[in-house]
């Protein structure tokens, strides 16, 4: 076990001059040695050893505490921010960025025994993400269009995989591509279309402060890409679903 750890690692309780490396450094070292990408929108769950997520939570809380101190907030006497560091650490690791540190929810696919090949859309699915540049929310809706292939998954599973993918720091264009890759991996559709409409709080809350601006982007693959009528059918279905929302 210890052979996988850097030579400077020493167990707790040893001399203070040989303090253990922070868990984030051990992880980064392991990821770099394995040649694994750990960008903001990558998932690193399979590289975390047992107990490391708990250790990471403690380390992140410590760093957030330092951030609050650097912002000259009196966390020792301010009852409102007393436990903010711990809350923020939990929120990042287990909620808003859980798609980086937790495994994909288990999603079973089933053979398409009836050979269904009509397209269907699922939506709106909530988009709850954060921009990689400012770590502030990206909130909106997503629609997924499927032309089934040999495998199918349950409708609710699209929401679960979308939530997992969006719960990372992202830029919207890459989020949609990553979601498309995951859905293709799960059910290998003959055609896949995704549309995302979202508001970016880095434009609403700060910067240009444009409260109404939203970003819309889409991706079409397989038959949706090759067949323009299928593609327009998808966008028409999304329009109908949106109209239902406003009634």
Q: How far is the CB of 131 from Zn ion (least distance, A)?
A: 3
Q: How far is the CB of 168 from Zn ion (least distance, A)?
A: 14
Which lies closer to Zn ion via its Cβ, residue 178 or residue 202?
Answer: 202
CB under 5 A: which stretch of 83-91, 116-124, 126-134, 158-166 binds Zn ion? 126-134
Q: Contact, 168 vs 129, CB < 8 A?
A: yes
How far, in Å, are 44, 89, 102 from residue 49 at the CA level?
Answer: 11, 19, 12
134 near Zn ion, judged by CB under 5 A: yes
H/E stretch holding 169 reads strand 169-170
Decide: helix, strand or coil at residue 21: coil
Tokens of 242: 């949106």
Q: Which residues of 34-67 are buried (b: 16+ CB within 10 A; e: fewer)?
A: eeeeeebbebbeeebeeebeebbbebbbeebbee
**Region 191-230 residues binding Zn ion, contact defined as CB under 5 A:** 202
Q: How far is the CB of 120 from Zn ion (least distance, A)?
A: 33
Nearest residue to Zn ion on Cβ basis: 202
Which lies closer to Zn ion via its Cβ, residue 169 or residue 189?
Answer: 169
Q: How far is the CB of 134 from Zn ion (least distance, A)?
A: 4
Q: How far is the CB of 206 from Zn ion (least distance, A)?
A: 8
Tokens of 168: 């990372």
Contact with Zn ion (CB under 5 A): which of 64, 107, 125, 131? Answer: 131
Which lies closer to Zn ion via its Cβ, residue 99 or residue 137?
Answer: 137
Which lies closer to Zn ion via its Cβ, residue 120 or residue 205?
Answer: 205
**Region 13-52 residues binding Zn ion, contact defined as CB under 5 A:** none
Which lies closer to Zn ion via its Cβ, residue 82 or residue 173?
Answer: 173
Q: Can you spell out the DSSP letters for 128-186?
A: EEEETTT--EEEEEEEEEEE--SEE--HHHHHHHHHHHHSSEE-HHHHHHHHHHHHHHH
Residues forming contacts to Zn ion in the complex (CB under 5 A) are 131, 133-134, 202
């Amino acid at each position: 076990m210890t052979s996988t750890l850097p030579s400077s690692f020493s167990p707790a309780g040893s001399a203070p001059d040989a303090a253990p490396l922070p868990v984030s450094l051990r992880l980064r070292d392991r990821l770099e040695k394995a040649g694994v990408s750990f960008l903001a929108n990558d998932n690193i769950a399979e590289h975390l050893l047992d107990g490391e997520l708990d250790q990471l939570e403690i380390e992140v809380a410590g760093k957030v505490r330092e951030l609050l101190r650097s912002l000259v907030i009196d966390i020792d006497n301010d009852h409102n921010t007393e436990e903010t560091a711990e809350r923020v650490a939990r929120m990042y690791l287990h909620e808003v960025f859980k798609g980086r540190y937790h495994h994909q929810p288990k999603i079973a696919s089933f053979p398409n025994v009836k050979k269904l090949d009509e397209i269907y859309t699922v939506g709106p699915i909530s988009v709850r993400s954060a921009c990689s540049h400012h770590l502030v929310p990206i909130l909106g809706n997503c629609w997924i269009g499927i032309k089934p292939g040999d495998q199918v998954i349950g409708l609710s599973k699209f929401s679960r995989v979308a939530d997992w993918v969006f719960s990372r720091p992202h830029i919207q264009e890459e989020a949609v591509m990553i979601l498309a890759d995951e859905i293709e991996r799960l059910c290998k559709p003959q055609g896949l279309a995704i549309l995302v409409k979202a508001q970016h709080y880095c434009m609403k809350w700060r910067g240009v402060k444009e409260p109404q601006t939203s970003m819309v982007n889409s991706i079409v693959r397989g038959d949706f890409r090759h067949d323009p009528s299928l593609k327009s059918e998808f966008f028409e279905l999304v329009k109908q679903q949106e109209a239902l929302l406003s009634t």
